[in-house]
Structure 1
């Protein structure tokens, strides 16, 4: 029996209005009207008169069909109309049987979505990076309706758990999504099979959603990211049993060597592809399905162990830590090629480095990754699972220059390639196939905020109680800024570089404290607000680490300058 509970997400409403940018007459009473960007929403006809019974038809234009619309006039003076019980996906409309000459002020496009508010500002000196972030945000909003996030707003409109878990961390870095995810996470654990622990590929319903192990992993990943970002311990209390149940389900598919290979069957008793996906939408040859499944077994078990620690279940923490370590070792034994020194292209090395590789393998894996990127001419070669970690893993392993190069591409496969093709939203595939309004590849963009700008929450003091600022400037950029409204208030970082001078502005909100890594070589002069850091009453010097001067900072504003 289901339990009726309150819908906690914010309502759907009109969040943006866009005037026509171009009107082209195609014939008597027929017009094509363009709005400059793709939205999910509706067209509003306003202040128009026509005889009673006169019918205007509206065809919404995007790369996939989402429905047509019409309006029949009542003939009683000026009339205004917009659809109320559906949304459409469009960047343009074609209107037929319009009464008289169409004027721009008679039409407006209205974006309709769950009313999450933007909580962050990300800006750089790169027009490309700003545009990539912008089109992803548009696509994400286009897919938020009724307190769930869909894969695409036209073809399927389904609440895919895999797409959701991959993009959720980027959503939280851009929007105040607390009410939204509180509702959707509850939908997901409510949809879990209580007997088997299986989590469906879509929640709260699965009408035909294809997916696999990484889709059900949403029950572990989304609550954990919510906890780290918002500091809400109760989300872990609510979902801990569901996490354990999903790990229990996953273990049914683990062989004696510790490798997971999910082969759920369909009605004919044979393994069904759409229950057992691994990597998805890669631009070329990709990793084996069992590699993806085993990685997510490790990932979910690792999160479950961390959750047990937060909740004070010490014995269970040790149990899941041991299972995670056994899985990691099984992964390493199965997939590392000792001759070539690699876990494989297409994301194999990315996933291995995310898990952590043995010290004797590490330099060989890094070299293999470099060779891979040289072979792809600096392009990524990952689907949605690998892309989620691609840029961060590079940055965290001394390859920030290669992360920048891949993000800066405008040729296939890359985010910039979509923009070159005229995209105003992110796409399902790196080429032109499939949906042109899919936010799932947005998971990789977290590199913008956490590595390039350099602001991270600390899981040990979540919700930005403790903030780690560790920017990774690249020579090609003059400026990067990221500011976020955290549970403690506005926090952020802005760095600028010119010739032989670097300036790093830091904002730590009241009630928070920060560890600040200022990029500087030993011998450089580092000042804070024009004085020696030792003279600042709210700073503690912690010495040097790698190429950073390290400080502990209380709440407040700081400006560090580094002069060679």
Structure 2
């Protein structure tokens, strides 16, 4: 049965408010036959469902197009206009001549194309406030009437600050932290909501609550506030279309009213204070007595910075129950959520009028079993609720989030049971696309920790940590973790939105900031640098778009980011000078490796690990070479011939310079460290004749220390470099290590997320330096890419992006017993499983329709391989296409394949 399913427009299902563009359409195909490839497709688009169903007044009929492309098909119909909704469906033909039925119809709706599409005015609450500290959240409202039958109503809304939109007594959307965090001085997102069902005949009311958020709340550290502005503002227009063809606009203007309410303070770092006695019942309904409310002020903030939302909305994605409650040695009541999570607590409790409950949030307990708060620095992470005294009261915050596992309860004398408390898990609502499981329970917990770290830190921007007074879009963390993130979650739209802020925040000379959106000025008083140009961090400007292209087949992100990518490349060329050694400016180096930390904060190496220090100019030059290679490929893809030739000419010169400066004739790097060898081997900097020597030195170093010594930049490449060099056993040795420092050491200490430091909690139970000790920091979780692509073996052909041509090349080991991974690609499910059963190795592979795969079976003797009970050479479902060392290469199409390797 040939079926077309999972239709998406720009990665989304039925998106509303697309930016001005020719949207790209994608779909998946399912079929119970094997070796199915799409041979042709036909797309129909219309302005209404009836027109699409009847194939009447179509705005695009692609006709039958002979093509196997089912991902990112560009809409090529009639010119689109602001606010236009388009319904579409597709059918396909396969290479057997079968024709599918039409898919179920879906739609996309465009946003506003021009600033002239905005009729609303910017309004500022007319309430007195001192913005030097957190102040009560403004409430705004307006009433309006509708007296005709409504066909459609659409709200376009944004704010300086955060907003929550209500209509007729209910919140319009599940989206949180809107309009999101962007480089506000250059780009401000607006959201679009279909509010047809929210408007009723007769009297209506629209209400909005505003919060400080990133715009004017506390941000960065050292008490910084109001980084973008000191006044919250709202812009909203609701277009009501009637059945008779007329329309009405409800806009923000001088007719709106403003007041304050029960939210006395709301800050991302410090938490929220809510006085339920000040609640205004039915404030967002028609007929509410707003006689005591004030006016609003009109501001001419303009519309030039407004952009449609491209990212993934932040939402509550899961609700956890605490696993236990206990009293600490200090006598404090604490609830344990059982998981280091990001979000907040919802409770249902009774309290006398005027009494309060205070909740403080912590990641860990100290050695005595008390709540440990020192590592969150100046962030209070405190929610306060004052009861109105009307029975059971339910509450949860609106405009703050916390990183925590433990909740300390104080100022409350009532009884609290586990049933009274919920942990509300909050993050950008990216679908889970990957799973990994193996025969080691600690490694399975590691995989869970990697995903929980992603969820906790992918909150509209990829932050470094979610708990302390920081929570910034650190580019280095994001760069090293991107391949892992793209396995675990559908990150394409998330990254597309975030990368847009690299463009305005980048310097004119091409240097890229440490954090995006950039809120660090002059190194934030650290004295390190001006906050720009650190290698491995700035390279995110190239690496992440390239990763999205490779994982999702998205060429448009390369086109849109190219000028920004080229800017960084040209900056490196300029700074490296004639000798092509990138030793200018500040670099973090192999951040938080043993030696890097001590040399940075104590101005001296830790001599116990002196052999772990990697020179920063070596790292920077290695990245210069790597990024130049990516730019050569990208320029070629985009047909920028001059750039491609320039970078192709430059790249071998950088390699020569690197080897002249940092490599001896015997294959020893001047920084004789795991990070140096991992980078040089993984990036292809070692000459062929010295690769074996360099790899052996890496292995010797691992064996010498008995563990890894790498930091943020070396760790993601360490197991890859070892495996590619023929030492998967050494990579597994590092993976299985349970002693500090290792990936599994935090797991043995009860970690439920990835730590910032290998020894966030030391073996003696004490803590690392409080100035920088997050217990939810995803960078070291970058090993997840190796788990998926090497242990389970799901990877892809170098020349074919988006898993159109899949490579399955696992590295089984009896010590692990089994491993299985699944990835929901743009084409469908890719699955790779292996397990040892007695002396046999069993493999099961699933390949989606409209793709092909090359399976690298880990045995060189094809007569030892059986499928469906027959020797490999007697099975006609696939063919042996060659041998690669100790592997047999098999070519297959879509389907499920089982192999049995019988060792002689």
Secondary structure of 1:559's aligned partner: strand
Q: Which residue does 2:355 correspond to in 1? A: 54
> Contact conserved, 2:433 with 2:488, CA < 8 A, in 1?
yes
Residues 297-347 of structure 1, C-alpha deviations (whole Å, 9 max, x = no match) = 111111100101212233322211221221111111111133673452141
Shift of the alpha carbon at 1:112? 1.1
Q: Which residue does 1:34 correspond to in 2? A: 336
Q: Which residue does 1:249 correspond to in 2? A: 571
Secondary structure of 1:13's aligned partner: strand
Comparing 532-541 with 130-139, greater Cα deviation is found at 532-541
Whole-angstrom CA distance in 2 between matches of 1:78 and 1:303: 59
Shift of the alpha carbon at 1:444? 2.5
Residues 94-119 of structure 1, C-alpha deviations (whole Å, 9 max, x = no match) = 11132422111111111111111211
Matches within 5 A, 1:471-490: 471-490=810-829
Is 1:128 paired with 2:467? no
Is 1:282 paired with 2:593? yes
Q: Which residue does 1:220 correspond to in 2? A: 542
Matches within 5 A, 1:164-179: 164-179=478-493
Which is richer in strand?
2
Whole-angstrom CA distance in 2 between matches of 1:15 and 1:526: 44
Is 1:163 paired with 2:474? no
Is 1:347 paired with 2:675? yes
Q: Which residue does 2:662 correspond to in 1? A: 335
Matches within 5 A, 1:388-407: 388-407=716-735
Question: Comparing both chains, which one has the higher relative contact order based on Cα–Cα distances under 8 Å and sequence gaps of 6 or more?
Answer: 1
Q: Which residue does 1:438 correspond to in 2? A: 777
How many residues are aligned here? 549
Secondary structure of 2:307's aligned partner: coil
Secondary structure of 2:681's aligned partner: helix
Whole-angstrom CA distance in 2 between matches of 1:525 and 1:323: 47
Residues 360-412 of structure 1, C-alpha deviations (whole Å, 9 max, x = no match) = 222221221121111111x1111110111111111111010000000111111
Which is richer in helix?
1
Q: Which residue does 1:358 correspond to in 2? A: 687
Q: Which residue does 1:307 correspond to in 2? A: 634
Residues 340 and 299 (structure 1), Cα distance of their counterparts in 2 relative to 1, 3 Å cut:
closer
Q: Which residue does 1:370 correspond to in 2? A: 699
Comparing 227-236 with 237-246, greater Cα deviation is found at 237-246
Shift of the alpha carbon at 1:234? 0.6
Residues 50 and 29 (structure 1), Cα distance of their counterparts in 2 relative to 1, 3 Å cut:
farther
Residues 425-481 of structure 1, C-alpha deviations (whole Å, 9 max, x = no match) = 111111122211110112232110111111102241111000001111122121110
Shift of the alpha carbon at 1:121? 1.2
> Contact conserved, 1:28 with 1:97, CA < 8 A, in 2?
no
Residues 19 and 358 (structure 1), Cα distance of their counterparts in 2 relative to 1, 3 Å cut:
same
Whole-angstrom CA distance in 2 between matches of 1:305 and 1:26: 59
Whole-angstrom CA distance in 1 between matches of 2:336 and 2:788: 33
Is 1:9 paired with 2:338? no
Secondary structure of 1:257's aligned partner: coil
Residues 144 and 159 (structure 1), Cα distance of their counterparts in 2 relative to 1, 3 Å cut:
same
1:189 aligned to which of 491, 503, 506 = 503
Residues 69 and 182 (structure 1), Cα distance of their counterparts in 2 relative to 1, 3 Å cut:
same
Whole-angstrom CA distance in 1 between matches of 2:540 and 2:860: 41
Residues 124-150 of structure 1, C-alpha deviations (whole Å, 9 max, x = no match) = 0011211111112111111111x2110
Secondary structure of 1:374's aligned partner: helix
Residues 52 and 27 (structure 1), Cα distance of their counterparts in 2 relative to 1, 3 Å cut:
farther
Residues 218-246 of structure 1, C-alpha deviations (whole Å, 9 max, x = no match) = 11000000000000111111112221111
Q: Which residue does 2:868 correspond to in 1? A: 529
Is 1:233 paired with 2:555? yes
Shift of the alpha carbon at 1:358? 1.3
Secondary structure of 1:214's aligned partner: coil
Q: Which residue does 2:141 correspond to in 1? A: none
Whole-angstrom CA distance in 1 between matches of 2:584 and 2:454: 29
Whole-angstrom CA distance in 2 between matches of 1:346 and 1:177: 30
Secondary structure of 1:51's aligned partner: coil
TM-score using structure 1 length: 0.94
Whole-angstrom CA distance in 1 between matches of 2:510 and 2:579: 22
Residues 463 and 252 (structure 1), Cα distance of their counterparts in 2 relative to 1, 3 Å cut:
same
Q: Which residue does 1:539 correspond to in 2? A: 878
Residues 5 and 535 (structure 1), Cα distance of their counterparts in 2 relative to 1, 3 Å cut:
farther
Comparing 134-143 with 350-359, greater Cα deviation is found at 350-359
Q: Which residue does 2:852 correspond to in 1? A: 513
> Contact conserved, 1:262 with 1:293, CA < 8 A, in 2?
no
Is 1:149 paired with 2:444? no
> Contact conserved, 1:200 with 1:206, CA < 8 A, in 2?
no
Is 1:200 paired with 2:522? no
- CA RMSD across the alignment: 1.9
Whole-angstrom CA distance in 2 between matches of 1:322 and 1:127: 49
Comparing 437-446 with 501-510, greater Cα deviation is found at 437-446
Provide structure 1 residue ranges, at least 5 long, that are not aligned to the other structure: 264-274
Whole-angstrom CA distance in 1 between matches of 2:735 and 2:822: 21
Residues 17-38 of structure 1, C-alpha deviations (whole Å, 9 max, x = no match) = 1111111246999521111111
> Contact conserved, 2:463 with 2:474, CA < 8 A, in 1?
yes
Whole-angstrom CA distance in 1 between matches of 2:641 and 2:536: 27
Q: Which residue does 1:267 correspond to in 2? A: none
Whole-angstrom CA distance in 2 between matches of 1:492 and 1:206: 42
Matches within 5 A, 1:412-431: 412-431=740-759
Secondary structure of 2:425's aligned partner: strand
Q: Which residue does 1:83 correspond to in 2? A: 397
Provide structure 2 residue ranges, at least 5 long, that are not aligned to the other structure: 1-184, 187-304, 364-371, 525-530, 596-611, 761-767
Q: Which residue does 2:347 correspond to in 1? A: 45
Whole-angstrom CA distance in 1 between matches of 2:329 and 2:616: 53
Shift of the alpha carbon at 1:12? 1.3
> Contact conserved, 2:464 with 2:474, CA < 8 A, in 1?
yes
Matches within 5 A, 1:64-143: 64-65=375-376, 66=379, 67-143=381-457
Tell which structure's C-alpha radius of gyration is larger. Answer: 2
Whole-angstrom CA distance in 1 between matches of 2:537 and 2:616: 13
Shift of the alpha carbon at 1:414? 0.6
Whole-angstrom CA distance in 2 between matches of 1:28 and 1:465: 59
